[in-house]
Amino acid sequence: MTYAIVRPIRLDLDSYARATGLHPQAVRRLVTLGLLEPTRNARGELCFAPSQVATAARIQRLHEGLSINYAAIGVVIDLLDRIEELEAALRGLSRR
Amino acid sequence: MAPRRDYYEVLGVGRNADADEIQRAYRKLVRAYHPDVNKDPGAEDKFKEISEAYSVLSDPETRRRYDAFGHDFRQVPPDVDPAEWARARAGAGARAGAGGQWRQARPGDFDFGEGVDLEDLLGGMFGGRGRRHWGPVPGADQEAELTLSVEEAYHGGRRTITLPGGRRLEVNIPPGVTNGQRIRLAGQGGHGSDGAPAGDLLLITRIAPHPRYRVEGRDIHASLPLAPWEAALGATVAVDTPGGEAKVKVPPGTSSGRRLRLKGRGMPNPRGAPGAFFAEVRIMVPARLTDEERRLFEQLAAVSHFDPRGRS
């Protein structure tokens, strides 16, 4: 019996660093701060979903535009995401 | 391009505001218009304008030069007397804008170099430290609301929209858009820096209230006015739907409030079955009866044993 192997596209640390324009060391730091959510492959190396490139860009814009330090950006991102969810729910309610 | 606004006006401070006041105004504005906080497509330009104004007014030296020379201060060599500059400008204006007098100075003579690019300015002002390990930054996603009439949502089609901030965009609306649906326009969001890709623009569709139709998901509700005899005896009546006129069969003995379902006459669905059209019966009576009608109704009242409030 055969199984189709569906491997989700993942970027390794170096390609991710290249895609985001970050130094790999900076990527590790953002991971340590819990701002990026990488997975680990079979060899235990960090792997990133392509959607995480946009996450890094948002972190970067918040850091540069508002001078928020990296530790605090986690809170800001969580709050922004929550507001977005609530606003979407609110739009759903006002429809009726 | 729109005329550039005065930097003091941009920050909403007086010309004699002190450094703290300028910093305070800037911090407040930048929090409100940051592209990741404010998804409005107009916010990004506002944010850039605010950042540019602050970068000039926060430095005492550039501020002094801005006060003296206005927006062109970067083109003015450092050792020019403001009064003389104003006279030369006025003269140049009279000679049909031939003000090439100051252009002869080489770019290297200036403090700032010529033609300072906004992106450079932004990159520079957000702390040079950041530049070293951050490369090009892709742009943020933006959101805008798109209000459509029921008919537009039903038929779809091309439409030119004007975004907050003044940008005009032609969008292709698929037929059968529902309330709250997101239309993603890739690459139409916030600009990326250093050639990085732009973010996406999400159009959140809102279906405007309609005098006749009420849209719920893909179903469309409308009221169906009937004469008492049509409702009692049954009839086939024409009803307007966004997709054109349809025939609805009213079964005999239909009361107000009954919903007659027209399958497939609701909003089209690009991925699946279309919604339904619900015609809700409302029995109407003539406001004024003719003598003949009155006689017939009275006759009916005398004959009928029907009691709509009867408790059985």
* Residues in Cβ contact with A14 at an 8 Å cutoff, skipping those fewer than 6 apart: A24
Cβ <8 Å between B136 and A58 = no
**Spatial separation of the C-alpha atoms in residues B284 and B259, rounded to whole Å:** 16
Select the residue from B39, B122, B137, B191 to test the A interface by mutation, using most A Cβ atoms within 10 A: B137
What are the structure tokens assigned to B173, written together?
A: 């609306």
Query: DSSP letter at B288?
Result: S
Q: Which residues of B touch A58 (CB under 8 A)?
A: 36, 140
Range from B25-29, B95-99, B257-261, B292-296 carrying the lowest mean pLDDT: B95-99
- The label of the residue with tokens 């009916």 reads B300
Cβ <8 Å between A61 and B34 = yes
Cβ <8 Å between A53 and B137 = no
pLDDT in tens, B95-136: 444 444 444 434 433 444 334 444 444 444 444 433 444 567
Range from A29-33, B44-48, B122-126, B275-279 carrying the lowest mean pLDDT: B122-126
Q: Which residues of B touch A91 (CB under 8 A)?
A: 180, 204
Q: Which residues of B touch A20 (CB under 8 A)?
A: 135
Identity of the amino acid at B143: E
Better-scored residue on pLDDT, B73 or A74: A74
Range from A7-16, B90-99, B288-297 carrying the lowest mean pLDDT: B90-99
Better-scored residue on pLDDT, A19 or B125: A19
Q: Which residues of B touch A66 (CB under 8 A)?
A: 30-31, 34
CB pairs under 8 A between A and B: 61
**Spatial separation of the C-alpha atoms in residues B163 and B145, rounded to whole Å:** 9
Going by pLDDT thresholds of 50, 70 and 90, the confidence category of residue A79 is very high
> Mean pLDDT over residues B257-285, rounded?
93
pLDDT, position B2: 57
Flag whether pLDDT at A65 surpasses 90: no
pLDDT, position A94: 64
Better-scored residue on pLDDT, B121 or B259: B259
> Mean pLDDT over residues B240-253, rounded?
92
Measured in whole angstroms, the distance separating CA B263 from the mean position of its chain's CA atoms is 33
Helix (H) or strand (E) holding B277: strand B277-283
Flag whether pLDDT at B234 surpasses 80: yes
Cβ <8 Å between B130 and A57 = no
Among residues 28-87 of chain A, which lie with CB inside 8 Å of chain B? 53-54, 57-58, 60-67, 80
Better-scored residue on pLDDT, A3 or B95: A3
* ipTM score assigned to the predicted complex: 0.73
* Residues in Cβ contact with B268 at an 8 Å cutoff, skipping those fewer than 6 apart: B154, B175, B176, B243, B274
pLDDT, position B186: 87
pLDDT, position A87: 85
Flag whether pLDDT at B208 surpasses 60: yes
Flag whether pLDDT at A17 surpasses 70: yes
Of B242, B270, B265, the C-alpha closest to B154 is B242
Q: Any bridge partners for residue B222, and if so which? A: B279
Range from B126-130, B151-155, B202-206 carrying the lowest mean pLDDT: B126-130
> Mean pLDDT over residues A26-34, rounded?
89
**Spatial separation of the C-alpha atoms in residues A60 and B213, rounded to whole Å:** 46
